[in-house]
Structure 1
Amino acid sequence: MGELHIHSVLVTGANRGIGLGLVRHLLAMLDPPKWVFATCRDPKGQQAQELRNLASKHPNLVIIPLEVTDPDSIQAAAARVAEHLGGSGLNLLINNAGIAKPMSLDHETLENMTQVYTTNTVGALLVGQAFLPLLKKAAQGSPGSALSCTKAALINMSSSPGSIEEVYLWEQALVVSYRCSKAALNMLNKCQSLGYREHGILCVALHPGWVQTDMGGSGSQKPPLTVDASVQGMLKVLSSLSNKDTGTFLDWEGKVVPW
């Protein structure tokens, strides 16, 4: 297994679940990133305690407040990251923050649809825009034209319930607003891959699997994947991504997920 070698990485929604798992595994690498930026809405709150515990043991972990639906918060976070990086860029941005609102088709609401779409789709767009200068700087500082996560990459945490072809777990997960937001996120990822390729930035939508988290395990059935298994798989996939993968929709094992 090839290990990911990156100078800097930022993970949104990093205080629990998959985001926290990503931070743990990045810090535990044989050759960990010089900078791991972990963002969440309330770094001082109870839900960020595990993140703060990690930061007390790892000087390369920086916790930054970030609300992905608030443009001012996003810009402030980008400025803080740039300050820490000095003259270097950001190699890897993982748009992981997301929400789900369980609701049947007949009872879905304007409020749910708007809130979930704003967080899961618009948030990923705004964060990508704000950190684009740092991603471009990382790409410019990397020799060669080949795309990779070592050079500069934007990873959007999607989900196969957003696959229009599969409609994964329809009976178990009546989350219409979530499904629609992830289908839209997949199109955003495609657009980003086309718009950012000229800057040397790789863009991939990633399905982490059905994982045992607060979000994934809220139904009656237990998800088959642990956070550790999902994260280990995803990091292996990230280490192998190249030009052919930009704009694609892959799962934690590197398999193509149908649109």
Structure 2
Amino acid sequence: MSVKLDGNIFVTGTNRGIGLELVKQLAEKTGQQCHIYACCREPEGTGAEALRQLVTQYPGKITIIKLDASDEDSISAAVKTVSERIGDAGLNLLINNAAINKPPQHATLADTGKKDMMDVYETNVTGPFLLAKMFLPLLQKAAEKGSSEGDKMSCKRSAIINISTIFSSMEKCPESFAFAPVYSYRTSKAALNMLTRCQAEDFKSRNILVTAIHPGWVLTDLGGDQVRGWR
């Protein structure tokens, strides 16, 4: 992480995998003025033990927030909680990392049903859409506080990062489709890319950066140990 970040950072899907590592590195490498709001569906569950250990390891720097990215009421409650804590300071960085794939593994056409498609879309697309929409006032506050830096947009000022994947690329789909059809995952992430472009256009006049990144293959529960390039 080459950029020194401060301020308030909100990360979804942090109990394992990429999200957990993001929280760890942010806690290690950011300044004392940085506070990380780390989200997961079951903060008290066994699956969040590693995240709770980070809270102990970095006292006062991480707050765990209960969030189900597929549930609008859960999103509203999380935004309200964070808004009350942040106040006029604003939100500097929103990282939409939470994502699911259904059915598990290859998710072929034959195996994938309507409910699978809708469940994945709700988490991978609608969740990031609602979070950006609800957090917009706090992102705007952070952007305005950074006005002394001119019109330059950055993660240090006010930004949204959507975690995407090379599997969402229409051009590169033939390279990996045979061993990983993952219909619901691919199509949801392609939609996330368009959401990113729309928000980038919409928010640029407010000096809020919006971008999507492909983190590359990572050995996680979602990534697995076989599918190179998966995220």
In the superposition, the TM-score normalised over structure 1's length comes to 0.82
Relative to structure 2, which stretch is displaced further, 118-127 or 102-111?
102-111
How far apart, in 1, do the equivalents of 2:44 and 2:31 lie?
29
Q: Which amino acid aligns with 2:210?
A: C
Tell me which moved more, 64-73 or 19-28: 64-73
- CA offset at residue 108 of structure 1? 2.0
- Mapped contact 2:164–2:193 kept (Cα < 8 A): yes
Partner of 1:38: 38
Aligned: 1:206 with 2:213: yes
Residue 156 of structure 1 corresponds to 162
In the alignment, structure 1 residue 105 sits paired with structure 2 residue 112? no
> Hey, what's the Cα distance between the residues in 2 that align with 1:162 and 1:223?
14
2:124 to 120, 126, 150: 120
Q: Specify the SS of the correspondent of 1:86.
A: helix
Name the % identity: 44
User: In structure 1, the residue corresponding to 2:89 is in which secondary structure?
Assistant: coil
Are residue 180 (structure 1) and residue 187 (structure 2) matched? yes
Given the superposition, is the C-alpha separation of residues 33 and 104 from structure 1 closer, same or farther in structure 2, using an over 3 Å criterion? farther
Residues 1-259 of structure 1 mapped to structure 2, 5 A cutoff: 2-29=2-29, 31=31, 34-58=34-58, 59-101=60-102, 102-142=106-146, 143=148, 144-167=150-173, 169-217=176-224, 221=226, 223=228
Supply the distance in 1 between the matched residues of 2:2 and 2:69 (Cα, whole angstroms). Answer: 32
RMSD in angstroms over aligned alpha carbons? 1.9
Shift of 1:33: 5.1
Name the CA distance, whole Å, in 2 between partners of 1:119 and 1:2. 30
Q: 2:15 corresponds to which letter in structure 1?
A: N
Q: State the secondary structure of the residue aligned to 1:203.
A: strand
Deviation at residue 172 of structure 1 after TM alignment: 2.6
For the residues of structure 2 that align with 1:15 and 1:162, how far apart are their CA atoms? 24
Query: TM-score, with normalisation over the residues of structure 2?
Result: 0.91
Q: Displacement of 1:223 after TM fit?
A: 4.1
For 2:153, give the aligned amino acid.
Answer: L
Gapped regions of structure 2 (runs ≥ 5): none
- Please, which runs of 5 or more residues in structure 1 have no aligned partner? 231-259
Structure 2: distance between partners of 1:89 and 1:210: 33
Task: State the distance in 1 between where 2:170 and 2:33 align.
Answer: 36
